[in-house]
Structure 1
């Protein structure tokens, strides 16, 4: 009398290998589709045109002599204009996380009596960030990559290389 097929170890080996490949394929498909990459841009041509427009804004900031100093210490952000004496009614400040889009945030800051722009964060902001400063009219732009927190003031200057 012969043994049943399920009592043979070779039969299980033959079934396990394809079954493992099917399970791994399903798991890969689920992982790949559960969190799509937010960094991929769908329309490259429009994005390229927008980059050229941004470079024009950076060059205007250079021409105007725009320069700011930034400090973030004890969750207190201070941005002060250092390049020109012009007063700004509003400063748009964007913080972009290098990899996680949901951590990006925007601040619209008004100056205090000294002309400094201040903001108190509820939580600490740490790590590497791309920070963008623009005017209320969005005519010029300064963009730099910085590491936070900063106990000393660091300069934010218009740099076309950083704008890419």
Structure 2
């Protein structure tokens, strides 16, 4: 039995995500970037967000709602709220948090030597692979798309 305990991801103390015994802490920049990447991956936004939009996205990810929007993105979230909320495992907030956590978990596994990152030149993407399994790729669960209610800057 392997008694080695996996480390927790840590880039700062501004934001905290906990799941089971795992406690991941993030500095503000890291968390903001991961929220933006998650929203892009989910098809809710495309490209880079400006500071007020990113502020609203982080507020949504942390608080589960945006009471006082700082941008058109926050207003869009509130206008589309019935389509973004739903059963907890199907809401946009759930998936934003899940992808932020997953990205940090994967990065921590790379840091600890359990995973490597390889570039797939054919697909032009990066993949996580398991070095102790002859580079077998890590298969990640697919995420849903929020493209139908995507935020499009004015």
Which category of TM-score, normalised to the shorter sequence, fits these structures?
A: under 0.3
TM-score, structure 1 length as denominator? Answer: 0.23
Structure with greater proportional helix content: 2
From the CA coordinates, give the structure whose radius of gyration is larger: 1
